[in-house]
Chains A and B, each alone.
Chain A
Amino acid sequence: MSNVLAIAHRELRSYFVSPIAYVVVGLFALLYGYFYFASLAFMVQFSSQAGMFGGGPQTVNINEFMIRPLLSNTAIILLFILPFLTARSYAEEKRSGTIELLLTSPLSDMEIILGKFLGALALFLLMLSVTAVHMGILFWYGEPELGSILTGYLGLALMGASFIALGLLVSSATRNQVVAGVGTFSVLLLFWVLSWMSDSAGPTAGPILSYLSILEHFDDFSKGVIDTAHVTYYLSFIAFGLFLTAKSVDSERWRG
Chain B
Amino acid sequence: MIEVQHVTKRYGPVAAVDDVSFRVEAGQILGFLGPNGAGKTTTMRVLTGYLPPTEGTATVAGFDVLEEPIEAKRRTGYLPESPPLYPDMTVREYLTFVARINGLAASVRRTRIDQAMERTSIGDVADRHCGKLSKGYRQRVGLAQAILHNPDVLILDEPTAGLDPKQIIETRELIKELAGDHTIILSTHILPEVAQTCERVVIINKGRVVAEDSPDNLTGRLHGAVTIQMQVDTAGADPTAALLAIPGVASVSVGEPGGDGRTIEVQSEQDGDIRRELANAVVANGWGLLELRRARRSLEEIFLQLTTAEEPAGEEEDAGDEDLDDPAAARENADE
Contact = CB atoms under 8 A, between A and B. Distances in A.
B140 to A, nearest CB: 16
Contact of B88 (A17, A100, A256): A17
A106 B102 contact: yes
A253 B51 contact: yes
B35 to A, nearest CB: 20
Interface string A97-121: 1111111111110000000000000
B84 A176 contact: no
Contacts of A175: 328, 331-332, 335
A96 to B, nearest CB: 7
Interface string B55-81: 000000000000000110110101010
Interface in A26-74: none
Interface string A216-243: 0000000000000000000000000000
B73 A104 contact: yes
B71 to A, nearest CB: 8
Interface residues of B, number: 35
Interface in B117-171: 145
Nearest to A3: B101
A97 B327 contact: no
Interface string B224-249: 00000000000000000000000000
A178 to B, nearest CB: 11
A105 B86 contact: no
A256 B327 contact: yes
A254 interface: yes
B22 interface: no
A8 B97 CA distance: 11
A97 B101 contact: no
Contacts of A103: 49-50
B103 A106 contact: yes
B74 A106 contact: yes
A16 to B, nearest CB: 9
A253 to B, nearest CB: 6
A256 B101 contact: no
B43 interface: no
Interface size grouping (class) on chain A: 20 to 34
Contacts of B11: 256
A116 B79 CA distance: 23
Contacts of B85: 98
A144 B82 CA distance: 57
Given A100-B80, A256-B51, A18 B88 contact: yes
A98 B85 CA distance: 6
B188 interface: no
Contact of A101 (B98, B331, B335): B98
A7 interface: yes
B67 to A, nearest CB: 14
Contacts of A106: 70-71, 73-74, 101-103
A200 interface: no
A254 B80 CA distance: 19
A216 to B, nearest CB: 34
Contacts of A98: 84-86
B288 interface: no
27 contacts: A2-B103, A3-B101, A6-B97, A6-B100, A7-B101, A10-B97, A14-B86, A14-B88, A17-B89, A97-B84, A98-B84, A99-B84, A100-B50, A100-B78, A100-B80, A100-B84, A103-B49, A103-B50, A104-B48, A104-B49, A104-B73, A107-B70, A107-B101, A108-B70, A179-B335, A253-B50, A253-B52
Interface of B: 9, 11, 16, 48-52, 70-71, 73-74, 76, 78, 80, 82, 84-89, 97-98, 100-103, 145, 327-328, 330-332, 335
Given A96-B84, A106-B71, A107-B101, 9 more contacts: A3-B100, A100-B78, A100-B84, A101-B84, A102-B101, A104-B73, A104-B78, A105-B101, A174-B335
